[in-house]
A and B are shown apart, each in its own frame.
Chain A
C-alpha cells in the first residue's frame, strides 16, 4: 500500500495468509515462533485432536416457539392461546399453534422428557412433528431428531437472545442501555448474534475472533500439513466468521470449478491459456493504490490459492471425500442439505489430510421471515423445519462411523435473528426477541433443555404481556425477554472448541455481566 493508513493489520493479514498457505511450508517454523510470541502466558496448553463447529443460521428469524412445546395441559393451553389457537385450515386459518400429540404413535414420535427438570408435571415437551420425521429415502434406523434428543446428542438452549446483561422488564424500561440497540430489526439483531458483542456494532464476528485466538494462542492450524484457514463459509459473506485480520474462505455447494481460459493451476498444452494465465498472475501480483482494486485482487488470489490447494480433491474433479450416505430428497431436499454435504466433505478432507485441527463452518437456510405464508404447504414454516431436520439427520449420518467418523468431534448449532411474536397476524408472525436454539453433536450433553438464567429463568411464560393478561417479562404480542444471552451461548461453544474462560471474557465483552460463563450443553 502506498498510503500510510492502518498497516499493522495489513501485515498480520499477510502473515495469516502465509500461515494458511501450504506453499509456505518452509516458513512454518518461524510462524510457529510467531504464534508462541503472540500467545499469552496462561494459554500454553496445546490443543489435541480435531474439532469443528458448524453454525447453522436460520435466516429471517425462525419462529422457534414451535420447535418444542410444553406437553402439560396448563402450559400447553397458554401456548395455544398465545399462538392465536391451534391451526385449522377450515376453522382457524390464522392460528399458529401446534396440536397436542394424541395416540401412542404420535406421542412416541414427538414427546420427550427434559432431564434437567425433575418435576414430573413440567418435564414433558413435544417436538414439532416435522422435526421428528425421517426422510423415507434414508436407510431404516436413521435416528430422528427426537431419537437424537433421547440418545443425548441434541440439546435445546431455551429463551436465548441478544442481551447486554441479565434483565427483566423493569430493567428494560429503566434505561435503554440495559438492552441491545435496535431490537426487532433483522440486520441489527443478526449482526448481534454473529458478533461476539451485543452492545455495539462491530465488523468482526465471534467465529472469526475465536479462530484467530485458536491460531495465535494455541496453534490450532499448525497440524502436520496446515493448508486451510479455520473459518470456511459455504453460504457467502457473513460477519460471524470475520476476524480482526482474517476473513473466511467462501465456497459454493458446487465445489470448486476451474477458471475458464487459463491454467488450473498447471497448463496442459495450449500456449494461449498459458499466456492469459501468466498475464492474470502478473495483474494479481501487483500492488494497487486503489483500495478497491487491492481488496479485489486479494480475494481473487485467495480463490486461486484455494483452488490450487484443494481443487483436485473436491467436486467436480473428485468425489473421494464426499460422504456416501443418502442426502435429503424431494420436498425435504434443501440448500441447507447441500451446504452441509459440502461441510461434511471438507471435514473429511481436512481430517484425513491433517489440513486443520480446528474448523468453524457457516451454512444457512433462508425463508424464515414468515410474516405470511406460515402454513403454506410447500414452503411454509412446517416445510422449512422438515428441511432442517432432514439436513441435520443426513449430516449426523455423514459424521457417523461408516463415513467421516467424527460425530464426537463436530458440534452443529443453530442461530437466528430472533424468535417471533407468539401472536399471529392472521397469516404468520412478526419479529420477536428471545428464542430457542438447537445444538447437535456427539459431545453435546443432550436430552436436556438449558434455560438457567440470572434474572429470567426456565421455560418462558408464553402469555402476552398485556394489561389483561399480565406476564411481566413479555411484550404485548408475546415477544419475550431472553433469560440467556447470546454471548453465554457462544462462549459455551467456544470453550468446547478449546478457548479458556478468560479468553472468552476477552472476546465477549458483556460475558462478565452473567454469572454463568458456560451453559454446559456441550
Chain B
C-alpha cells in the first residue's frame, strides 16, 4: 500500500466519519488555494474525470478537484486507507443472528452500496469494483453463497491491495479461502496413486487434483489464453495465435494448488499428529477469511496421510519436475519447471515452496501487463483503447514492477482518457464505454445528495441491497453468474461494434428485458424515493434530494442545465436539452415542482446519452 505521500492535512480533516445520516456533500471545502497548474479546464471536465474515477461526481468533489488539480486529487486518493466492509457486516450479521433475523448476502450488498455511494476513498472503491470483475468470486456459487462475512472480507482485500503490487494481490487472492472455495483450491488434494513407476510397478492413479484454479488463475487472473505484445495485440506465428499453455501444463499446475484448508484446521500434535483434521476449521469468521494453510511437507513428512499437497512431477513420481506455465521470450517458449519434492507455501531450506514459485512464474509472464491493463482501461475509460494507450500504460506497469496504483494513475491521466476524440473523428463514435447499470444508479445518488436511511437496530443501513440487483440489472457486486464476469472483455454487440471489430463488454447484459427492469428500478429510486415525498416514504433505500431543482423561480431550462451538469458533465446534446425542456414546459406544466424534478432525472437516467460515458 502506498504511503500517504502528498496527502495534506486538509485531506485528513475532510475524512468522513461514519454518521447516522450520511450525506454525500460532506466535504466542506474552503476555497483558499491558488488554482493548481493541472486543474481541470472547467467544472464539466472535472465532473467527467470523476465519472471515470469514482462512483459519480458530487458538487463538492467537483469543487475540490478544481481546487487541488488532478495530480493532487489522485495522490490523495491513492493514500486513503480502504473503507472496510467486513467489520460492519460482521457486526450486523452477529446482531441479526442474535435477534433471530434472517442473514444473507443482502447484508453484504447493503454495505457495498453504502460504501460505493458514501465512502471517501472513492478511487480505491472503484478499483476494488474493477478488480472484482477480474478476480471474480460470486455469491451465485453454492460453495460460498452462505459466506457473507468472508465475502465482505474479500472486497476489503481487493480494496486494500488495489493500489499495491500485482504479485501481492495475486498471492492474497490465491490463499484466500473464499476464492479457494469458489474455484476449488480449498481442500484440493494430491492425486491418489499407487506404484513407483519402476519397471513392473507402474503408476496408476484413481484420482488427480482438481484443475479449476490452475486453469482460471492463468486464463482469467493473469496471462490469458494467447500471447500478447506490450500493446495488447495478439502475437502471431505462421498466421496463428500462440497459446500460452496447454492441457498438460494445466494438469501439472493443478498439483501446485493442492493441500489448502482453513487456517484453523487442527494440524495435530505429537509425533503422530494426533487430532489432525484437514476437513475441520472455519470455527470463527476470522478463520473463514484468513489465508488458507497448506498441508505440505513443511508440516508433515511425505509419508504421513495428512500430507495433502501433491509434490510429484509430470509423471506422478518424484523422479520428474512439474512443467508449468512457459514464458514466451524472443519468439520462443521458455519452459518453466517446479522441482518435485518441495514444500507447499513455506519454503524449506534449499528449496522454494511450490505455490510461491508458481505465482512468481505467473507474475513474471510478459502477458500480465497488457492483459490486466486492457481490462482496467475498459472498466474506467474506454472499451476500445488504442494499442498506443495500452502500450503507454504497460510501460508504467513494467517499470513500476506491477504497482497497480501507478498503473491506475497512468490510465486516468493518459491523453486518451483526458482528451476524448470528437464524435466526428474516425475514432470518436466508438470512444468511451457503456455505463454499467450499477454505476448509473450510484452516480445519480451522488449527483442528488441521496440521504441514507438511519442505521437500524442491528447496525445496518438499508440501500435496497435486497432488490435483486442481479436479475434487475444483469449485475450485482460479487454476484456474477460465472467466473467469466457479467460480461467478457471481448464481447462485441452485433451491429456496428461487431462489424468493425470493436468490443462493447457492458452490452452483454443489455437486452429488451434488462432495459425495462433497469428502468423500472430507477423509477423506484427517483419517483419513488425522494426527500419530502408524500404518501408512504420508503425505508429500504436512500432518498434523493431534489432541492437543487425545485428552488423558487427556477425555469425548465435551468432544471435541465443542472441535470446536464450533475449527471452528464455538460455533455447533453442540444436535442436532448430541448426535448427535456419541452417535456417540462409543455407536457408537465401542471405538475408539481418535485414531479418535474424527478421526471427530468428519471428520463435522463434511462436515456441513451446517460448510458454512454465518453
Interface residues of A (CB under 8 A from B): 1-3, 5-6, 9-10, 13, 59-60, 84-85, 94, 176-177, 181-188, 203-204, 233, 236-237, 242-243, 245-247, 249-252, 256-257, 259-261, 271-272, 274-276, 278-280, 282-284, 286, 288-300, 302-303, 306-307, 366-367, 369, 371-373, 376, 378-379, 421, 423-428, 430-431, 466-469, 475-477, 479
**Cα–Cα distance between A176 and B246 once the two chains are bound (Å):** 11
The docked-state distance in angstroms from the alpha carbon of A293 to that of B183 is 37
Q: Within the assembled complex, what's the spacing in Å between the Cα atoms of A308 and B258?
A: 56
B608 touches A293 (CB 8 A): yes
Do residues A261 and B527 form an inter-chain contact, with CB atoms below 8 A? Answer: yes
User: In chain B, residues 563-598, which have Cβ atoms closer than 8 Å to a Cβ of chain A?
Assistant: 573, 575-576, 579-580, 582-584, 586-588, 590-591, 595
B599 within 8 A of A: yes
Q: Which residues of B contact A425 (CB under 8 A)?
A: 188, 207-211, 254
- Cross-chain contact of B512 among A204, A302, A469 (Cβ < 8 A): A302
| Contacts A272-B587, A275-B599, A292-B504; A3 near B494 (Cβ below 8 A) | no
Q: Is B520 an interface residue (CB 8 A)?
A: yes
Specify which chain A residues have a CB less than 8 angstroms from the CB of B512 in the assembled complex. Answer: 249-251, 299, 302-303, 306
Nearest 6 pairs of A and B residues by beta carbon? A275-B587, A250-B511, A260-B523, A303-B512, A279-B583, A293-B608
Choose from B208, B507, B509, B609 the contact partner of A423 (Cβ within 8 Å).
B208
Residues in A with CB closer than 8 Å to B202 are 467-468
Answer whether A476 and B188 are a contact pair too, CB < 8 Å, given A279-B587, A291-B497, A292-B504. no
Complex Cα spacing A303 to B429, Å: 23
- Pick the most buried of B204, B240, B474, B579: most chain A CB atoms within 10 A of its CB: B579
A203 touches B599 (CB 8 A): no
Complex alpha-carbon distance, A249 and B516, angstroms: 13
Residues in A neighbouring B488, C-beta threshold 8 A:
187
Q: A276-B583, A425-B207 are in contact. List 5 more A-B contacts (CB 8 A).
A: A184-B215, A185-B219, A257-B520, A291-B504, A296-B608
Show 20 residue pairs from A and B whose CB-CB distance is below 8 angstroms, ordered by the A residue. Answer: A2-B429, A3-B426, A6-B500, A233-B511, A237-B507, A243-B494, A257-B516, A260-B519, A260-B527, A279-B580, A282-B579, A286-B573, A290-B423, A295-B497, A296-B611, A299-B510, A303-B513, A303-B516, A371-B212, A430-B254
Q: Are A293 and B611 in contact (CB under 8 A)?
A: yes
Contact of B225 among A188, A249, A271 (CB under 8 A): A188
Q: Is the CB of B433 within 8 A of A292?
A: yes
Bound CA span A292–B424, Å: 15
Q: Which A residues are CB-close (under 8 A) to B209?
A: 425-426
In the complex, chain A residues whose CB is within 8 Å of the CB of B519: 259-260
Of the candidates B208, B241, B504, B582, which one forms a contact with A279 in the assembled complex, judged by CB atoms under 8 Å apart?
A: B582
Known: A9-B499, A247-B494, A425-B208. A468 touches B511 (CB 8 A): no
Indicate if the CB atoms of A286 and B513 lie closer than 8 Å.
Answer: no
B494-A242 in contact (CB<8A) = yes
Find chain B residues with CB under 8 A from A373 CB: 142-143
Q: Is B458 an interface residue (CB 8 A)?
A: no
Task: Choose one: A2, A250, A257; the contact of B424 (CB below 8 Å).
Answer: A2
Contact A295 B507 (CB under 8 A): yes
Which residues of B are found within 8 Å of A296, using beta-carbon distances? 434, 507, 510, 608, 611-612
Please tell me if the beta carbons of A292 and B208 are within 8 angstroms of each other in the complex. Answer: no
B184/A372 in contact, CB under 8 A: yes
B residues whose Cβ falls under 8 Å from a Cβ of A = 142-143, 183-184, 187-189, 192, 202-212, 215, 219, 225, 240-241, 243, 247, 250-251, 254, 423-424, 426, 428-434, 471, 474, 481-482, 484, 488, 491-500, 502, 504, 507-517, 519-520, 523-524, 527, 573, 575-576, 579-580, 582-584, 586-588, 590-591, 595, 599, 602-603, 606-609, 611-614
Cα separation A319 to B183 with both chains bound (whole Å): 42
Known: A94-B207, A182-B243. A272 touches B516 (CB 8 A): no
How far is it, in angstroms, between the C-alpha of A475 and the C-alpha of B402 when the chains are bound?
Answer: 38
B494 touches A372 (CB 8 A): no
Cα–Cα distance between A371 and B189 once the two chains are bound (Å): 12
In the bound complex, CA of A284 to CA of B251 (Å): 52
**Which one of B183, B204, B495, B602 has the highest number of Cβ atoms from chain A below 10 Å of its Cβ?**
B495
Instruction: For the complex, give the distance between the alpha carbons of A282 and B491 in Å.
Output: 29
On whether the beta carbons of A284 and B608 are closer than 8 Å, the reply is yes
Please indicate the chain B residues that have their CB under 8 angstroms from the CB of A292 in the complex: 430, 432-434, 504, 608, 611-613
Please, which residues of chain B bring their CB within 8 A of the CB of A13?
495
A9 and B495 within 8 A (CB): yes
- Is the pair B499, A6 in contact by a Cβ cutoff of 8 Å? yes
**A280: shortest Cβ distance to chain B, in Å?**
6
A237 near B511 with CB under 8 A, answer: yes
Do the beta carbons of B423 and A275 come within 8 Å of each other? no
Residues of chain B contacted by A428 (CB below 8 angstroms): 184, 210
Q: Considering residues B207, B210, B492, B587, which has the most beta carbons from chain A within 10 angstroms of its beta carbon?
A: B207
List of B residues within 8 angstroms of A250 by Cβ: 511-514
Q: CA separation between A293 and B519, bound complex, in Å?
A: 16
Tell me how far the C-beta of A162 lies from the nearest C-beta in chain B, rounded to whole angstroms.
14
Residues of A within 8 A of B496 (CB): 1, 5-6, 10, 291, 294-295
Distance in Å: Cβ of B502 to nearest Cβ of chain A: 7
CA distance A243 to B488 in the complex (A): 19
A302 to B559, CA, bound (A): 30
Contact call B587/A274, Cβ cutoff below 8 A? yes
Question: Which of the residues B203, B500, B609 comes within 8 Å of A293, measured between beta carbons?
Answer: B609
Which partner residue on chain A sits nearest B484 by CB separation? A187
Contact present for B591 and A272 (CB under 8 Å): yes
- Give the residues in chain A near B575, CB-CB below 8 Å: 282, 286
CA distance A123 to B18 in the complex (A): 71
A486 → chain B, closest Cβ, in Å? Answer: 19
Q: Considering the chains assembled together, what is the distance between the CA atoms of A476 and B159 in angstroms?
A: 41
User: How distant is the Cα of A292 from the Cα of B225 in the complex, in angstroms?
Assistant: 28
Q: Complex Cα distance A184/B212, Å?
A: 11
Complex: A192 Cα to B496 Cα, angstroms:
22
A291 pairs with B606, CB closer than 8 A = no
Q: Is the CB of B208 within 8 A of A477?
A: yes
Of chain B, the residue at the smallest CB distance from A236 is B511
| Alpha-carbon gap, A306 to B520, bound state (A) | 16
A299 B494 Cβ-Cβ under 8 A: no
CB–CB B493/A1 < 8 A: no
Question: How far is B595's CA from A469's CA once the two chains are assembled, in angstroms?
Answer: 75
Q: Which of A85, A247, A275 has the most CB of B within 10 A?
A: A275
B185 to chain A, nearest CB (A): 10
Q: Which residues of B contact A185 (CB under 8 A)?
A: 215, 219, 225
Give chain A residues whose Cβ lies under 8 Å from the Cβ of B515.
299-300, 303
- Residues in B with CB closer than 8 Å to A282 are 575, 579
Chain A residues whose CB sits within 8 angstroms of the CB of B424 once the complex forms: 2-3, 289
A507 to B482, CA, bound (A): 30
Cα distance, A3 to B580, chains bound together (Å): 27
- CA separation between A84 and B573, bound complex, in Å? 65
Name the distance in Å between A295's Cβ and chain B's nearest Cβ: 5
* Separation of A62 and B494 alpha carbons in the complex (Å): 28
Using A247-B495, A467-B202 as known contacts, say yes or no to A290 and B612 having CB atoms under 8 A apart. yes
Assess the A236–B507 pair: CB atoms within 8 A.
no
* Cα A421 to Cα B205 with chains together (Å): 13
A31 to B519, CA, bound (A): 34
Q: Do A246 and B588 form a contact, CB below 8 Å, given A3-B426, A425-B211?
A: no
Q: Which residues of chain B come closer than 8 Å to A306, judged between CB atoms?
A: 512
Decide yes or no: A276 and B225 within 8 Å by CB, A295-B497, A303-B515, A425-B207 being known contacts.
Answer: no
Which residues of the partner chain A approach B498 to less than 8 Å between Cβ atoms?
Answer: 203, 242
A176 to B606 alpha-carbon distance, docked (Å): 48
Say how far A415's CB is from chain B's closest CB, in angstroms. Answer: 16
Q: How far, in angstroms, from A307 to B513 measured CA to CA in the complex?
A: 10
Contact A289 B428 (CB under 8 A): yes
Q: Which of B247, B590, B614 contacts A271 (CB 8 A)?
A: B590
B81 smallest CB distance to A (angstroms): 35
Q: Which one of A182, A243, A278 contacts B587 once the chains associate, using CB atoms below 8 Å?
A: A278
On whether the beta carbons of B429 and A291 are closer than 8 Å, the reply is yes
B548 to chain A, nearest CB (A): 20
Contact across chains for B210 and A372 when beta carbons are under 8 A apart: yes
